[in-house]
Amino acid sequence: MPVACRPPAPAPRPAPRRLFRALAGALLCLGCGLLPAADGPLAPADARWLDRVTYGLDSATLARYRALGRKRFLDEQLQGGGDDPALAAVLADLPITREDPLELVQAAEAEGRRIQNLASDEDRQQARQAQNQLAGQLAYETARRHLLRAVLSPHQLQEQMVWFWMNHFNLYQAKGNLRYTLADFEERAVRPHALGRFRDLLLATMTHPAMLVYLDNAQSSAGRINENYARELLELHTLGVDGGYGQQDVQELARVLTGLGVDATPGTPRLRADGQPFLLRRGLFEFNPTRHDFLDKTLLGTRIPAAGFPEVEQVADLLAAQPATARFICRKLALYFLGQEPSPALAQELGRTFLRSRGDIAAVLRVLCGSRDFTGAPAFKDPVHYVVGALRLAYDGKRPGNMKPVVNWLNQLGEPLYGHLTPDGYPVLPAAWSSPAQLVKRFEIARAIGGGNAGLFDSEDGQPAAATGFPLLSSRLFYEAIEPALSPGTRQALDQAASQQEWNTFLLSSPEFMMR
């Protein structure tokens, strides 16, 4: 290979590679991965562990892992946290961060009434188009904020769990007015509870306007009950399709959920005196007692006394405490991180931990991340993990200014954020994402990122950047954490690259980089 085409040499190693691999293996054996890692190449098991706890490696993550060791690094990740100051400043400038969903919906409804009164069909069409563009911009800003955190946040496990729960409690942004409430659902209902207790997360989603609109509960009332949300709440959100419930349970739960809805009108609704104490309003959310079925219910053999909104809280407690919920949630978590069924022993331990800790998500993740299964067979990345991981490796802490290319890539790969029509969310098993067409598209994305011409550093209005942020993937990070696990075929392909751009492309489209 000509010297001019060879990637830049790594920083000098303080000792031969073989010695460092031996030391890393010794540390892993002596401390079960709990001791701080030595300098030099990372053991493949450590690299895979990090690649699953995070969206993918960058230099800051590797340095933190070396400083803390596996146990303390996991402790830190399980704590989560807010945005670091630099990222918080960027996110604070996003208009979506300052928007109030109640005001957005009120403005949209007022604009809808104005459009209806316009004189001509052409005027109405143009006005609706402008309104749709505004709603689309809100959805894009929601995705942009999500992706910036996924790429840049040091709280990588937390960011993965936000995406996991957003997919578990799936919303389809194009339904109704969801694009006005989507950002608030992620920020207020999901993010605060992503590593907390499942019961709190469940109740937050049950009482959020976005979910109530998406699954049609906002139209459900005593005498005109819609069972859609009740069915999905049992089948997809808690017990699972084989969770031991029947149609009678769906009907009873639907009765409990009557009265949960949305109201954007200002002021307090007119109620009879005996109903006023039961009224509950928080922003767009409303529990309206005039729409609630005030009779006792029985769910899963448990009596739910008529009480108004406290019935909803009792149901959240009941569903979160079911062994079927523990099995369903823990299995899905294992599939998400492992890409395959957990071993029977791990599945049992995860379920026991869920029930013993009363649904403590961090406690379940501690067991999962500490298991032998966690560093077992590699699994094919879904599109979100592939694209975010590529950006983390390629730009290594640099902040892309323009996320429109990233949103487009996810659209092309079939996993757009908030774009799954049905409430089951995107599949978590790798087989859904490993088609030949998917691989071809990933190669094109690898070439766009590796060539440094993807427009990621252009301004949001399309003005080209003064510097493109050309990625230099043949870095110390590569030699220490990625290169040791590459196959001979991938090494040979990299050696034959004719340029740095081609070398980058080959690495990002390699079989090893497709796996986690």
Phi, psi of 280 (to 5 degrees): -135, 125
Angle between the 323-338 and 344-356 helix axes, to the nearest 10 degrees? 130
Alpha-carbon span 282 to 294, nearest angstrom: 21
Q: What pLDDT, in 10s, does the model give residues 100-138? A: 999 999 999 999 999 999 999 999 999 999 999 999 999
Mean pLDDT of 314-328: 98
Q: What is the pLDDT of residue 471?
A: 84
pLDDT of residue 466: 67
- Is 50 exceeded by the pLDDT of residue 9? no
Rounded Cα distance, 88 and 281, in Å: 30
CB–CB of 306/337 below 8 Å?
no
What's the pLDDT at 270?
85
Distance CA 285, CA 262 (A): 5
Domain boundaries, the chain: 3-78+379-508, 215-338+341-376
Does the pLDDT value for residue 318 go beyond 80? yes
The pLDDT value given to residue 34: 45
Whether the pLDDT of residue 79 is over 90: the answer is yes
**Res 94 pLDDT > 90:** yes
pLDDT reported for residue 39 = 65
Nearest to 340 by CA among 426, 424, 430: 430
Average the pLDDT over 271-283 and give the result.
92
Rounded alpha-carbon distances, angstroms, from residue 144 to 141, 204, 215, 468: 5, 23, 25, 19
* Span 387-411, average pLDDT: 94
pLDDT above 60 for 14: no
Does position 24 have pLDDT exceeding 70, yes or no?
A: no
Characterise 81 by phi-psi region: left (phi > 0), alpha (psi -120 to 50), beta (else).
left
Query: pLDDT at position 452, please?
Result: 87
Where does residue 82 rank: exposed (0-12), middle (13-18), buried (19+ CB within 10 A)? exposed
Residue 1 confidence (pLDDT) above 50: no
pLDDT value at 33 more than 50: no
Q: Where does 93-120 have alpha helices with state H? A: 95-98, 101-116
Mean pLDDT of 342-352: 98
Helix (H, G, I), strand (E, B) or coil at 467: coil
CA-based radius of gyration for the chain: 25
Structure tokens at 358: 């009363």
β-strand partners of 457: none
Whether 497 has a pLDDT exceeding 80, the answer reads yes
One-letter amino acid at 348 equals: Q
Q: What is the pLDDT of residue 15?
A: 37
**Has residue 29 got a pLDDT over 90?**
no
Count other Cβ atoms within 10 Å, centred on residue 461.
6
pLDDT for 279-304, tens place per residue? 999 999 999 999 999 999 999 999 99
169 neighbors 237 (Cβ within 8 angstroms): yes
State how far Cα 486 lies from the chain centre: 28
